Structure 1
Amino acid sequence: MSRPHEPEIAVVRDSLAALGQPWQAGETRLSLLPDRARRLRLGVPIPDQADVDARTGQAERLAAEALDAVGRQVVAATAPAATLPKSFDLGDVGGRDFVTPVKDQGDCAASAAFGVLAALETTAAFTRGVPGLNLDLAEAHLFHDHAAERGYTSESGAWPADLLADAVRVGVTFEDYFPYQDNGSGTANPDWPNRLAKAAGVTDLTGRPAAIKQHIFGYGAVAACFVVHDDFFHYRAGVYKPTTDRIAGGHCVALVGWDDDAQCWIAKNSWGTGWGENGFFRIGYGECFIEDYPSPRPSVLGCTAVHLRAWLPAQRALRLFATANDANGWAYLENLGWTHLAGGPHSTTNKLAMLTHARASDHPVTPFINGNELSTVQIDQLIV
């Protein structure tokens, strides 16, 4: 029995054949949804036609700028090399994966929250050089609380610039303190201010493909908006380019890398792992306004640091460092990297003694991080 979406997919496949099959179309979870439900899987206000018209013809220029970035000197000290490579993927940096697992926004136009927090989670791990950080931030807090206070709803979506501003000003708690429900149910744990992440060093990268690459390579993923065409819901694999002019709405994802040979960005979506390339997709440079969404609002954003205030899972102290008077102590924790020991000489000495004992006995410690400092250390029932 023929299903309503099958003729739609057949038209897309015919168009792809004429284009040389740049990507594969087929039935997906999104294909099965009616139009209204598909729109709820997006989450950025649809662009005005005037803004779209003003950017018509820029795709080739943006693609050329993206390709021209290879070999440029890198600014960030945290970058893995001195110049930009032809390809890069935060999911495989010398065998290390800094990208957190793909999530599913469900029937709620909350993609801006998912895109922003995917960028923050990756940045927190990448700038520390510790893929094992496994930060899991609460999209419910950012969207159902922060965005709702701005008047955004589950149908309106939100601008990522506003949500990133909230992540700087107020911060976002962890998923276990406010589990995500697409219907907006639930509330944050009252202790959420003590389990928090805050963004810092927000950077507007809109319309600058080379700067986008610099940021991804130096600091981590960026949140990016793009125009979704109707055929995108049927994407299975390959480098996406639209085959239709019909626009479904705006969407926000996290850009986690690029590939100049394929002339595309690598993006993390929020439609679950059963869609696309295990929840990810590739999109051609300059396509769908991915580098410059048709709006006066910033549409490609990143941050250079993520400050934490939280107890983190138990982990080993691998290295220690202190000046002669112990006033300046540091610990390298296996899932956190180098972290400064907070407090004066007496507090630092006590922490170093505990960490030295734990390291010698290969005993894990439970750290409480405040900002970029190790504020408290717990071993079993002993806290310093």
Structure 2
Amino acid sequence: MSADSGEHDCAAELAGIRDALAGLGHPWQCGETRLSRLSADSRRARLGVPAPSADEIAARAELPALMADSALRAAGEPVAAVHAPTPHLPAAFDLRDVGGRSYVTPVKDQGECGSCSAFGAIATLESTAAYTRRAPGLRLDLSEAHAFFGHAAARNAILPDGTWPDELLEDFVTLGVAFEDCYPYSDDGSGSLHPRWRDRSASAEKVVDLSRNPAAIKQHLYAYGPVTACLVVYDDLFHYTGGVYRHTVEQTSGGHCVALIGWDDTAGCWIAKNSWGPDWGEDGFFRIAYGEAYIEDYPDPRPTTLGCTGVNLRAWLPPQRALGLFATAHDANGWVYLENLGWIRLSGGAHSTTNKLAMLTAARASGSPVSPFVEGAELSMIQLAH
């Protein structure tokens, strides 16, 4: 079935939502989006987290108010993590604008495939890699196809209505994930993994469960980067065009995974990156009220609100300039500051380090870029770019 098949008239649906929003004081705006005219089946195909049970939802009846209160009380809490911009949590934070720099990769489109957990988990990895390095120019593009059609399929974890982000993040720690060009995404599952993908891969460091803890979610966002989160999708969300989302209908279509990238206490909301393309919502992003749609603790026993503390790379990276060099009198202790990567240690012992420093010094003096091969926290090879 194509993306445009099974269309239906959404005028009555939109009229009912507008009436409900008027009664709430217009907290958000609705309109005809690229998902509005899709059939119910095609809408559900753009989700991908197993639907919650009625019992799990009932057990969380008091959760929305508790989560909203906890999120607001976190402002001003001390932050100990070394990557945090300031020692206390601010009232608002957005990874798209940290001192005028963005650490968020472009919005993607999962198409008609229940692969949202792959997109949420990959978005978390891509931005965590940049933010923990303070390298907004890193611009990683990792493979959702490898995550979903590779790792999840190998686990037999692609369920009829989706998969879970915790399993994918676990695989990112133990196995790693390829760069996009090693396994380009197509929603029909076509394509294959390049046999040498391990030479263009990323792996996650420690995965942290932040479920049901808004203060911990904010701490992690501020210190390390995005957080995967799952939410119950009420049917009005498909028509969201802007504002702070709160559901106005009770009909649901299933569960969905996104990446949280910030918050705003004045508006009382999280800021999330979706995977329905850049022409949905607020340029592909949306704001959702604290406690709304169980986004801090999805109705299931397993953890779904997750972050990682770092990302290791093994790959040749695009050519870039060496902006700074550092060495001490101790052998094999050389460092370089690359414009799109930040500070990284030179590996390979005294002789190799000396040679790399000489190459980098010459390249820096001439303004010539270099292509670095990164393994974990070290730069192991350099090529002069022509």
Shorter-chain TM-score: what band? over 0.9
The Cα of 1:188 is off from its aligned counterpart by 1.0
2:251 aligned with 1:254, yes or no?
A: no
The Cα of 1:380 is off from its aligned counterpart by 4.1
Matches within 5 A, 1:245-324: 245-324=250-329
Partner residue, 2:156: 151
The Cα of 1:13 is off from its aligned counterpart by 0.7
CA contact (8 A) 2:319 2:385 kept: no
Note the alpha carbon deviations across 1:181-219, whole angstroms, 9 max, x for none: 000000011110111000001100000000000000000
CA contact (8 A) 1:5 1:31 kept: yes
Note the alpha carbon deviations across 1:209-243, whole angstroms, 9 max, x for none: 00000000000001100100011000010000000
Note the alpha carbon deviations across 1:146-205, whole angstroms, 9 max, x for none: 011122338531100001001111111111111100000000111101110000011000
Partner residue, 1:11: 16
Partner residue, 1:30: 35
Q: Secondary structure at the match of 1:310?
A: strand
| Residue in structure 1 matching 2:139, options 123, 134, 139 | 134
Partner residue, 2:79: 74
CA contact (8 A) 1:110 1:154 kept: no
Give the Cα–Cα distance (whole angstroms) in 1 for the partners of residues 91 and 158 of structure 2: 40
In structure 2, give the amino acid aligned to 1:31. S
Q: Secondary structure at the match of 1:131?
A: coil
2:229 aligned with 1:214, yes or no?
A: no
| Residue in structure 1 matching 2:95, options 90, 95, 101 | 90
| Residue in structure 1 matching 2:116, options 105, 111, 117 | 111
Give the Cα–Cα distance (whole angstroms) in 1 for the partners of residues 330 and 215 of structure 2: 45
CA contact (8 A) 2:332 2:347 kept: no
Give the Cα–Cα distance (whole angstroms) in 1 for the partners of residues 10 and 161 of structure 2: 25
In structure 1, give the amino acid aligned to 2:29. Q
Give the Cα–Cα distance (whole angstroms) in 2 for the partners of residues 3 and 165 of structure 1: 40
Q: Secondary structure at the match of 1:46?
A: coil
The Cα of 1:26 is off from its aligned counterpart by 0.8
Give the Cα–Cα distance (whole angstroms) in 1 for the partners of residues 265 and 29 of structure 2: 20
Give the Cα–Cα distance (whole angstroms) in 2 for the partners of residues 171 and 283 of structure 1: 31
The Cα of 1:368 is off from its aligned counterpart by 0.2
Unaligned 5+ segments in structure 1 are: none
Q: Which runs of 4+ in 1 moved over 3 A?
A: 152-155
CA contact (8 A) 1:108 1:154 kept: no
The Cα of 1:314 is off from its aligned counterpart by 0.3
Percent identity, aligned pairs only?
60
The Cα of 1:37 is off from its aligned counterpart by 0.6
Q: Secondary structure at the match of 1:321?
A: strand
Note the alpha carbon deviations across 1:232-289, whole angstroms, 9 max, x for none: 0000100000001111100000000000000000000000011000000000000000
- TM-score, reference length from structure 1: 0.97
Equivalenced residue count is 380
| Residue in structure 1 matching 2:380, options 367, 375, 380 | 375
The two structures, once aligned, show a CA RMSD in angstroms of 1.2
Q: Secondary structure at the match of 1:156?
A: coil
- TM-score, reference length from structure 2: 0.97
Give the Cα–Cα distance (whole angstroms) in 1 for the partners of residues 38 and 159 of structure 2: 17
